[in-house]
Structure 1
Amino acid sequence: MSIRIEKRNSQELNVIILNNQNYRIAQKLRRIKGSRWYVNKHHWSIPYSDESLRKLIELFPNKIILVDQSIEMLYKPENKDLLTKIYLTQINGLLKEMNNRLELKGYSTKTRKSYLGHITRLTIHYQSHPIELSQEKIQKYLLHLINEEKKSNSYVNQAISAIKFLYQEVFNKSKPILNLPRPKKERKLPDILSKEEVLQILNSVNNEKHKAILYLVYSAGLRVSEVVRLRISDIDSKRMLIHIRQGKGKKDRYVILSKVALDTLRLYAKKYRPEYWIFPGGKEGSHITERSVQKIFERAREKVGIQKKASVHTLRHSFATHLLESGIDIRHIQELLGHKNLKTTEIYTHVSIESNIQSPLDKLFK
């Protein structure tokens, strides 16, 4: 079902229900103050006001709303958010279809969310359905991201990937979109914490659960998305390994299990008794969220007064760098971090489970 809105006169808007008409729809429309049903025309009318339109969108949040350009009030600056909401109703189905295609092709939840966000922002920027956009307009939008919004090259590259996926996989168009130029990939060096700073942060945490999370992240160089999804069965205390399942790029790998981290994990488990997820979340059957872990780290960093621009991911960077500084071969570090390309690791470096490597966390406590 979709809804078309046309200007009837200076006082009224016609509301035409397409492909459907039933009692429930009528009941909803009656909730708009001043609405009327025209029997001979088989359509409704609502007052010509932004208040009526906002109520209509509120009552039909998942329906496509098509508006006639003769409705001048929609194009006033103060009603920009209203027009945006109307255009977003027009791409709800498109976003669902795109999400389904992404899921079928094995894209992660995080990537799917990012891609859909890029298409939504493109729609809002032009207030037009993406299929109506020319390559010239898309290029102007990308330049807007770079020059006006000052977005990073990696952000713009992801926007291009999202747009290309939409046009090639959903619209079945390719030639013009394939010619979109990509900005050069940036080579930024990550912020690194010294061993002393890492120790300060770890020692500042008193909560057993929070402490176990940060110990595992640093001791094995885990991504935050990996530590939150650890299951009890992933810890192999006999072989001193952690099984990372379907990490970035849908790859499994094993990483080292630090003795110090294992002892901390056992203290936590003895008190909290986790049953499936090592770190369960607030909702039954769920794991702790990535944002919760990020907040744990942020509070610890602020508590010890470290001014560096560091996040929980900085512990992963620091893990790799400290191993490299200890003389561990870069290819071993690449394996531990789960990097497909050695060039990615060359920014700092990673470790191999095949080598007899001791976690840098253990060395801190000797």
Structure 2
Amino acid sequence: MSQGYTDRRITLKHLVIDHQRMVGIKFYPDKVIQALIKQLPEPKWSEKYQMVVLKNEPEVIDQIFQKFKGIAWIDCRHFFANRPVNNGNEALSVDHYRKRTPQKNWKYCPEEFYQKLEIRGYSFNTAKVYIPLFEKFINHFKSVENLLEINEYDIRHYLQHLVVTKHSDSYINQSINAIKFYYEVVKEMPNRFYTVERPIKKESLPKVISKEAILKMIESCHNIKHRCILSLLYSTGLRRSELINLKLSDIDSDRMMIMVRQGKGKKDRYTLLGNKMLKELRTYYQYYKPKTYLFEGPDGGPYGATSVGRIVSQAAKRAGIQKRITPHMLRHSFATHLLEAGTDLRHIQTLLGHNSSRTTEAYTFVALKGLTKIQNPLDLP
């Protein structure tokens, strides 16, 4: 019985062998696939990668698709770059980095690195992370002119250097992201370094404080603006960046919802607007008269992120809370308290803007509902 079309599959990979861009073809042993591969231009077997390799040229790619059309499924997920475009949010400019005064013996990001960050509409926070980390990487290989010459072994050696020099797992992961951005996005070689391993992710629980403690923090605020900032962070689950970018037009009092525009991952979503919160916001509006942003700085732009953090920490001190409290802990507390009140986990996921339910499930480990009813073994009769 002949093998059906749906049973055959080949996977394309990006490789660099002897400083030359190559296409790797990975497949399970199959006489039909092997026969077709032999008809492609100059196929070679790579012992290192355990796959057939060919020159990465447009005409070769075309021939691969022509040969296997209707015969095998071609898995291109690791080969063709995903090309999101700037979706209407404020355009990113990294001119600050372009216009730096050059320092002797320091290699800077290539212009194409800057351009790709701008064209694809990455956030400025991402750019601030990627640019210095990638520059640290290329300066580790000062003698290498062509960055395509750097291979998986070199990168693993560099990551080992970061481990030895006591850099955090987060720093190492961000370094990998910056490196992969250059090779996989800028140079359009997706999954170029698919053999590079990341540090094992530490599973840490969300830091949560009680509702009583949060109410004490809010009550300690005599400034209505500060009071609204604290209340919104807790009652909506907003991230700090989302809070300071809220506009007056995002408050929908008819539907009792707040529109969160271009949150993390550039996604729009809605979150809750409570009756008490709406009343507080109306009082705040009458006093401050903001024009565009809900919370505005002295220049009429968004309120400062540092100022929000200071409001939270100072309110915690006034409330007698000894540990350090951050704006994000109010977001965690929002989700945990909703879960303890019986809110469906999927609804909480939607309100928080999580892509995966696994992220939201972390709150099940800190929610106390049910656990407080369990009798301690020492107290058992």
User: For the superposition of Structure 1 and Structure 2, which TM-score range results when normalised by the shorter chain?
Assistant: 0.5 to 0.7
For these two proteins, the number of residue pairs brought into alignment is: 265
- Partner SS, residue 362 of structure 2: coil
Is the Cα–Cα contact under 8 Å of residues 87 and 128 in structure 1 kept in the other structure? no
Q: Which residue of structure 1 lines up, in the alignment, with residue 165 of structure 2?
A: 148
How many percent identity over aligned positions? 43
Letter in 1 for 2:337: H
- Partner SS, residue 113 of structure 1: helix
CA RMSD of superposed structures (Å) = 2.5
Is the Cα–Cα contact under 8 Å of residues 244 and 254 in structure 1 kept in the other structure? yes
Residue among 327, 338, 352 paired with 2:342: 327
Q: Which residue of structure 2 lines up, in the alignment, with residue 57 of structure 1?
A: none
Mapped pair 1:211 → 2:227: yes
CA–CA separation in structure 2 for the residues paired with 1:240 and 1:258: 7
1:202–1:323 distance in 2 versus 1, CA, 3 Å: same
Mapped pair 1:310 → 2:328: no
Consecutive unaligned residues of structure 2, counting only runs of 5 or more, are: 1-97, 365-381
Q: Which residue of structure 1 lines up, in the alignment, with residue 156 of structure 2?
A: 139
Instruction: Output aligned runs, 1:271-286, within 5 Å.
Output: 271-284=287-300, 286=301
CA–CA separation in structure 1 for the residues paired with 2:184 and 2:253: 47
Out of 297-306 and 257-266, give the one that drifted further.
Answer: 297-306
CA–CA separation in structure 2 for the residues paired with 1:235 and 1:108: 24
Mapped pair 1:182 → 2:198: yes
Consecutive unaligned residues of structure 1, counting only runs of 5 or more, are: 1-59, 65-84, 350-366
1:196–1:163 distance in 2 versus 1, CA, 3 Å: same
Letter in 2 for 1:178: Y
Report the CA distance between 1:148 and its aligned residue: 2.7
CA–CA separation in structure 2 for the residues paired with 1:169 and 1:238: 43
1:311–1:261 distance in 2 versus 1, CA, 3 Å: same
1:142–1:317 distance in 2 versus 1, CA, 3 Å: same
Q: Which residue of structure 1 lines up, in the alignment, with residue 32 of structure 2?
A: none
Q: Which residue of structure 2 lines up, in the alignment, with residue 345 of structure 1?
A: 360
Letter in 1 for 2:166: E
CA–CA separation in structure 2 for the residues paired with 1:173 and 1:272: 51
Letter in 2 for 1:179: T
Report the CA distance between 1:175 and its aligned residue: 7.3
Q: Which residue of structure 2 lines up, in the alignment, with residue 12 of structure 1?
A: none
Greater length-normalized contact order (CA 8 Å, ≥ 6 residues apart): 2
1:166-204 deviation line (CA, Å, top 9, x unaligned): 123334566763321122222210110011111121112
Letter in 1 for 2:357: L
CA–CA separation in structure 2 for the residues paired with 1:287 and 1:295: 16
Mapped pair 1:251 → 2:267: yes
Mapped pair 1:106 → 2:121: yes
Instruction: Output aligned runs, 1:62-141, within 5 Å.
Output: 62=100, 85-88=103-106, 90-91=107-108, 94=110, 96-123=111-138, 131=147, 133-141=150-158
- Partner SS, residue 233 of structure 2: helix
- Partner SS, residue 246 of structure 2: coil
Q: Which residue of structure 1 lines up, in the alignment, with residue 258 of structure 2?
A: 242
1:129–1:86 distance in 2 versus 1, CA, 3 Å: farther
1:133-163 deviation line (CA, Å, top 9, x unaligned): 55434323322333432403x4322221110
